[in-house]
Amino acid sequence: MKIYVVGIGPGNSLYMTPEARQAIEESQVVVGYTLYVDLVKDLTEGKEVRATSMKQEVDRCKIALEEALQGKTVAFVCSGDAGVYGMAGIMSEVAEAHPEVEIKTVAGITAACSGAAVLGAPLIHDFAVISLSDLLTKWEIIEKRLRLAAEGDFVICLYNPKSKKRHDYIDKAAEIVAKVQGWDLPCGYVKHIGRDGEYSKICTLQDLLNNDDIDMFTTIFMGNSTTKVINGKLVTPRGYHLDK
């Protein structure tokens, strides 16, 4: 009676931790959103696979619980890290009445880290991760977090920057940050990290406006006031003193 809530990393098996691989291998059942289950299909042969569509998060947890209550070991797969906009929290809530089911979170490489590595070293110092999805958070709160993160001179990493319904949220976010950091702020974005078609771009805050490259498979990085481009890499200095 065990559920591993597994962060599989951004998509490529090279980014998956040995612990995540082991948890999937050890499980009889694999539960998850279709795309993520597909990303680990090399590991699911001979296992019961229960894939669901995008918006059925709670149902997915119930399926995992149901299977675990039958005495099975279940791997509930999430992209990136299971605890960063992942399913680790909701899984524990759904299973609250069943303390006999062990729930183990298996860490993964979140898009902030894998994307930062593609761009260079934009995070390095204090940074804030903000999701632009207002499905579970009010837009006013998101705006406040953006404003205060910019005022605090945090590097900002944005998840869920755009969807069909929320196509202009990234523009609104850029406008909020521009008021504090200016339109020339060094920024970058990475699409499909670790997956087919990975694409990255270093740009300015201005370039994020009306940008058709940006979609729901993109992670965006907005620098702080010291972030710069060094030999084609986006770098936030940590503040070490350099004698050049």
Binding site for ligand SAH (CB under 6 A): 10-11, 78-81, 84-86, 110-111, 159-161, 190-195, 216-219
**108 by DSSP, 3-state: which?**
coil
CB of 176 to ligand SAH, least distance (A): 18
Q: How far is the CB of 23 from ligand SAH (least distance, A)?
A: 16
Cβ-based nearer residue to ligand SAH, 212 or 243: 212
Q: Return d(Cα 77, Cα 92) in angstroms, integer.
A: 14
Choice between 125 and 192, CB closer to ligand SAH: 192
* Cβ-based nearer residue to ligand SAH, 131 or 206: 131
- Residues 6+ positions from 156 with CB-CB distance below 8 Å: 127, 128, 129, 130, 146, 149, 150, 177, 221, 222
The residue whose Cβ lies closest to ligand SAH is: 80
The minimum distance between CB 87 and ligand SAH, in angstroms, equals 8
Coil, helix or strand at residue 84: coil
Which residue lies nearer to ligand SAH by CB, 154 or 217?
217
Retrieve residue 221's tokens: 């990085």
Percentage helix, strand, coil, to 5, in the chain? Answer: 30, 25, 40
Closest separation in Å from C-beta 216 to ligand SAH: 5
